Amino acid sequence: MLMEHGLRDGRLAEGLCFTQFLTPDGVLAKPLDGRMDESLLLDMYRNMAIARQFDRKAVNLQRQGRLGTYAPFEGQEAAQIGSALALAKDDWMFPTYRDHAATITRGQSMTTVFLYWAGRLEGGTGAKSLRILPPSVPIATHLLHAVGMAWATKLRNENVVTVGYFGDGASSEGDFHEALNFAGLYHLPIIFICQNNGYAISVPFSKQSASKTISQRANAYDIEGERVDGNDVLAVFDAVSRARERARAGGGPTLIEAVTFRYGAHTTADDPKRYRDQELATDWRTHRDPIGRLKRFLEQRGLWTDDFESEVMADATARIELALDEFARYEAPNPLDMFEHVYAEMPWHLKEQAAEFERAMEKDGMQP
Catalytic residues: 262, 266, 275
Cβ neighbours of residue 111 under 8 Å, at least 6 residues apart? 323, 326, 327
User: What is the dihedral angle through the alpha carbons of 93, 56, 137, 354, rounded to the nearest 10 degrees?
Assistant: -130
Q: Largest alpha-carbon pair distance within the chain? A: 68
- Distance of alpha carbon 124 from alpha carbon 135, whole angstroms: 7
Beta partners for residue 167, in sequence order: 195
